[in-house]
Structure 1
Amino acid sequence: MIRVLLAEDQHLVRGALSALLSLEEDITVVAGVADGAAAVAAAAEHRPDVVLLDIEMPVMDGITATARILSEVPTARVLILTTFGRPGYLRRAMDAGASGFVVKDTEPERLADAVRKVRAGQVVVDPDLAVASLERGQDPLTERERQILRAAEHGDTVADLAKRLCLSEGTVRNHLSSAIGKTGARNRAEAARTARENGWL
């Protein structure tokens, strides 16, 4: 049996996924949780073969949870399942160690097949998303630029950002300017929006 852990913050979706996968003779769902931190704890407790993770969850996102889970349970395989088919998410998920990335409108049979494939050591990626990722290229932002753009999404001043991130105001301005240039935006709000839409944040 393939032991699966589900992490999805929407109760109804989590229940539906669990029911669908449980219909498969070779798959059993060992636990279902609603956030990334709970997924890390449940993975350590249940030692699943495959962890099915949503990306946008409370407490800890799926990409961060992927890296933590794989450090706790190196034998597990992570399959990202998300509504948000953004190319940047794909690259970041794979960099974190995920073995697959499928969108939520995938047919149930294909989802079960993806679980089997990643358990067998294969990499499974939604083909449309793979093409989009190749067309868009790599995430141009540095980790510091992403950190500052995330903080800037709330509309804080440069002084506020500098204080919160323990940086000088000049450093914050330089990183914002660089991020604006790399995203082709006119201002930091547009840069943050573009980065978010591409899955870079």
Structure 2
Amino acid sequence: MIRILIVEDMTMLREALTTILSDEKDMQVVGALEHAGDALEFCRENRPDLILMDVLTDDNLVNGGSHRELAQEENSRTQINGISATQEILAEFPDTKIVIITAFPEITFIEAAKKAGAHSFVYKNVKNDLLLQIIRGTMAGYGTFPTHIPTLATLSPKFTDREMRILRLLAQARDRSFIEQELSISEGTLKAVITGILNKTGYDSIMQYVVYAVANGLISPHG
């Protein structure tokens, strides 16, 4: 059984990851934290086998800045919070495996993760099957790092007006019944549109994509 700690500041994604991993017979989510700064103490008390560690968590936001603004500041401590936590944890618990996760196509994160001792690195738009494969491979001693850096252009496909309206409503946490009534469409039509969005983005879960898109400014809930 792989005992996993998730460190992710976005509630929707944290819960989605917890659900995905908990459904696997060989995995157990032993904790889900919002802030990377809390991870070391959690490890001291619970000793997880593997950590999914977000590069940037909510405690990184200083002076009212956004993730996007702070990620552009080369010398900001915000830029390496999850990576700094990785380094601290591995110094005390060298047998713990750490997989860095991020939504930002920032090349410096990969090298920083390697220097900190992270065992693997993955982007948040990865499909569920590949994420599970990376977790199992990392536990078996096989590290995985991206061979190319995605761009916002490749991660932001062109959506129809209807698709954008549905994405914005989902970003507002509206349920499917509300969306059907708001847009005067049937349940079958809504399912078909969502399937089309998933096909365009390569995601397995519509809510995972919504979380990613909002976090990266690709979708505005009130746009």
Q: Same fold (TM over 0.5)?
A: yes
Amino acid at match of 2:3: R
Q: CA deviation at 1:120?
A: 1.0
Aligned match of 2:136: 116
Aligned match of 1:98: 118
Amino acid at match of 2:144: V
Per mean C-alpha deviation after superposition, the further-off stretch among 58-67 and 41-50 is 58-67
1:27 and 1:91 map into 2 onto residues whose CA distance is 28
1:31 aligned onto 2:31: yes
1:9 aligned onto 2:9: yes
Identity of aligned residues (%): 34
Amino acid at match of 2:4: V
1:59 and 1:70 map into 2 onto residues whose CA distance is 21
Amino acid at match of 1:114: I
**Residue among 87, 90, 99 paired with 1:79:** 99
2:105 and 2:39 map into 1 onto residues whose CA distance is 21
Aligned match of 1:67: 87
Contact 1:5 1:29 in 2 (8 A): yes
Q: 2:58 aligns to what SS in structure 1?
A: coil
Aligned match of 2:47: 47
Aligned match of 1:18: 18
User: Where do 5+ consecutive residues of structure 2 fail to align?
Assistant: 61-80, 152-223
Q: CA deviation at 1:72?
A: 2.1
Contact 1:44 1:69 in 2 (8 A): no
Aligned match of 2:189: none
Per mean C-alpha deviation after superposition, the further-off stretch among 107-116 and 60-69 is 60-69
1:39 and 1:63 map into 2 onto residues whose CA distance is 12
Q: CA deviation at 1:40?
A: 1.5
User: Where do 5+ consecutive residues of structure 1 fail to align?
Assistant: 133-201
Q: CA deviation at 1:56?
A: 0.6
1:44 and 1:108 map into 2 onto residues whose CA distance is 29
Q: CA deviation at 1:126?
A: 2.4
Q: CA deviation at 1:104?
A: 0.3
* Number of residue pairs aligned between Structure 1 and Structure 2: 131
Q: CA deviation at 1:127?
A: 2.9
Contact 1:90 1:101 in 2 (8 A): yes
Contact 1:2 1:28 in 2 (8 A): yes
Q: CA deviation at 1:26?
A: 0.7
Root mean square deviation of aligned Cα: 1.6
